[in-house]
Amino acid sequence: MIRWMWAFLDRPTQRFDDCAKFWSTVTGTELSARRGENDEFLTLLPDPALFAAAGVKMQAVTGLGGVHLDLDVDDIPASVRAALDLGAELVANHPDYAVLRSPGGQTFCFTPSGRATSTPAPAVAAPDGTLTRLDQVCLDIGPSDYTTETDFWKSLTGWPFHQARLPEFARLKSTEPLPIHLLLQRLGEDRPTSAHVDIASADIDASANWHESLGATIVDRHEHWIVMSDPADAPYCLTSRPPTPN
């Protein structure tokens, strides 16, 4: 059973500080102290007055970076065995966590449960009052892998599966109050599965303008979402959804 899910933003070392400042601002959080052998990790911490637990972490990496998931579980070895039986690949097995890849190539980790025991952080207000909330990781899946990858995440999470209004989208959403849920997107072309984060917004155009002022760039506009890139040119989306915890 997944006790907590983290969105992990992996960003290039040379642009990490700018990205950390950007994501801290748009999520209304404070940056934790850096940690790790090379000070490569940090957590985006909600205001302590909210009595809410964090759900987003960041890692400075070589290369272009991306997004991976950390899944807090009670029994890491058992979770690894279950994931392998479902078609995952073990990348690295550490004393206190394991790194795996889904059948389509998405990196994720099993990490110890018990570190996050509160409720997810609420929506945050931009300077103009627009409410937003980073609450979703979208898995971008090629058509050839879509069925296998969808079945994998359905089985791994055990969460209810919901088909979205558009046929290329579906959701996996926990019945427990977790900070992150999953959107599955079927792409038009084959490529390894990757991920980006989605921010629910009460007004995506207002949010896009604010994010642009902080160093983001508008990439593409759709009726219900806007594709953005952050200061490290990593994609994310502003989506027209109620920015409230599940």
Q: What is the pLDDT of residues 136-158, one digit of tens each?
A: 999 999 999 999 999 999 999 99
Name residue 71's beta-bridge partners. Answer: 5, 110
Which pLDDT band holds residue 50 (cuts at 50, 70, 90)? confident
Please compute the mean of the pLDDT values over residues 12-16 and round it to a whole number. 96
pLDDT at 206 over 70: yes
The pLDDT tens digits for 172-182 are: 999 999 999 99
Where would I find the H helices in 30-140?
A: 76-85
- Report the mean per-residue pLDDT for the chain: 95
Euclidean distance between CA atoms 60 and 41, whole angstroms: 7
In this structure, the number of other CB atoms found within 10 A of the CB of residue 192 comes to 13
Q: Read off the tokens for 139.
A: 């898995």
pLDDT at 229 over 90: yes
pLDDT at 115 over 90: no
Report the pLDDT value the prediction gives residue 116, as an integer from 0 to 100.
58
- pTM listed for this prediction: 0.95
Which pLDDT band holds residue 102 (cuts at 50, 70, 90)? very high
Q: What angle do CA 180, 58, 142 make, to 5 degrees?
A: 60
Contacts of 246 by beta carbon, 8 Å cutoff, 6+ apart: 120, 135, 173, 174, 177, 178, 181
Asked if residues 112 and 70 have their Cβ atoms less than 8 Å apart, the reply is: no
Which pLDDT band holds residue 119 (cuts at 50, 70, 90)? confident
Please compute the mean of the pLDDT values over residues 5-9 and round it to a whole number. 97
pLDDT at 92 over 70: yes
Report the pLDDT value the prediction gives residue 96, as an integer from 0 to 100.
92
Report the pLDDT value the prediction gives residue 51, as an integer from 0 to 100.
86
107-116, 170-179, 186-195: segment of lowest average pLDDT: 107-116
Q: Read off the tokens for 180.
A: 């992150």
Report the pLDDT value the prediction gives residue 235, as an integer from 0 to 100.
98
65 in the Ramachandran plot: left (φ > 0), alpha (ψ -120 to 50) or beta? left
